Amino acid sequence: MKVQILDKTFVPYISQDEIEAAVKRLTHQMNEELKDSCPLFVCILKGAVFFFADLMENIDIPHNMTFFRISSYTGTQSSGNVRAAKPFPRPVEGRTVVIVEDIVETGNSMHFLRTKLLELGAKEVRIAALFFKPGKCKKELTIDYCGFEITDEFIVGYGLDYCEQGRELPSIYQLAPEDGADEGSNG
Ligand code: IMP
Ligand code: MG
């Protein structure tokens, strides 16, 4: 069924069951690969909160967690100008840090934060992203834990927003083809 958010129409794209299966697969991989490193998981606000909560429910290895806000969208487009309003909240020296992001598009945000964490002395920075748009990515980035590689269309739901709306949708919706490419997100 279609949903209308402000001026845009969205159509169903990825189901709750598919998301759940991807989350299970990624946590299984993390529980295996990170069991000896007591990783610091960083939830990128706000879009990744649902993904982060579901991941953490299935993580059974020692770890720490923190939350961080970065923004790259100004109004309706990814500006390419990534900013963090505050200093990173935890020491990361010598640690394995896993950034948990909703979606990697241009890659600017993850490139920015990864560089910053390595400068702060992190031993290793891994990236977990529920969605990745390889067709739009401009940076050399490895997504260590990737839920879905998707096409370039704008998506909402499960925490992802269009102009701060649509986060509550339990599954993922994609901008209807006839609705064009004028997109907007606030992280
Ligand atoms: P990047 O720096 O271009 O990789 O931007 C990533 C950020 O842009 C994500 O954390 C989201 O907040 C936002 N974003 C990118 N694509 C979408 C989308 O399709 N829907 C909603 N938000 C998006
Ligand atoms: Mg975001």
Where the chain has pLDDT below 70, the residues are 73-79, 180-184
Ligand 1: residue whose CA is nearest its atom 12: 187
Query: What is the per-residue pLDDT for 184?
Result: 65
For residue 178, the model assigns a pLDDT of 78
CA angle 24, 28, 31 (to 5 degrees): 135
Nearest atom of ligand 1 to the alpha carbon of 105: 4
The pLDDT score that the predictor gives to residue 162 is: 94
Task: Output the CA torsion sign for 110, 141, 103, 33.
Answer: negative
Answer yes or no: is the C-beta of 43 below 6 A from any ligand 1 atom. no
d(CA 155, CA 98) in angstroms, rounded, equals 24
Q: Give the list of residues 6+ apart from residue 27 with CB closer than 8 angstroms, or none.
A: 55, 58, 59
Q: Is residue 78 part of a domain?
A: yes
pLDDT at 75: 43
**Mean pLDDT score across all residues of the chain:** 93
106 falls within a domain? yes
This prediction's pTM? 0.94
Q: Is residue 135 part of a domain?
A: yes
How many Å lie between the centroid of ligand 1 and the Cα of residue 16? 20
Which CATH number do you get for residue 100? 3.40.50.2020
How many Å is the Cα radius of gyration of the chain? 16
* Beta pairing, strands 145-149 & 124-132: parallel
Q: What is the pLDDT of residue 179?
A: 76
48 in contact with ligand 1, CB cutoff 6 A: no
Residue 103 Cβ inside 6 Å of ligand 1? The answer reads yes
146 close to 134: Cβ distance less than 8 angstroms:
no
* Nearest CA, atom 20, ligand 1: 155
Indicate the angle between helix axes 16-33 and 49-58, nearest 10 degrees.
Answer: 50
Q: How many folded domains does the chain comprise?
A: 1
Distance 73 CA to ligand 2 centre (A): 9
Flag whether 73 is in a domain.
yes
Say which residues have a Cβ less than 8 Å from residue 98's Cβ, sequence separation at least 6.
30, 34, 39, 40, 41, 42, 125, 126, 127, 128, 144, 145
pLDDT at 51: 98
Domain-located, residue 184: no
Q: Is the CB of residue 71 below 6 angstroms from any atom belonging to ligand 1? A: no
Position 185 in a domain: no
In the prediction, which pLDDT does 73 show? 60
Residue 86 lies in a domain: yes
No. of helices (H) and no. of strands (E), the chain:
3, 10
Which residue range forms the structural domain that includes residue 116?
Answer: 3-179
Whether 126 is covered by a domain: the verdict is yes
Residues 40/63, Cβ–Cβ less than 8 Å: yes
- Residue with CA nearest ligand 1 atom 9: 103
* 3-state DSSP assignment of residue 41: strand
Residues 6+ apart with CB under 8 A from 46: 69, 159, 161, 167, 186, 187
Confidence at residue 85, expressed as pLDDT on a 0 to 100 scale: 86
Among 160, 161, 167, 179, the mutation site with the greatest number of ligand 1 atoms within 8 A of its Cβ is 160
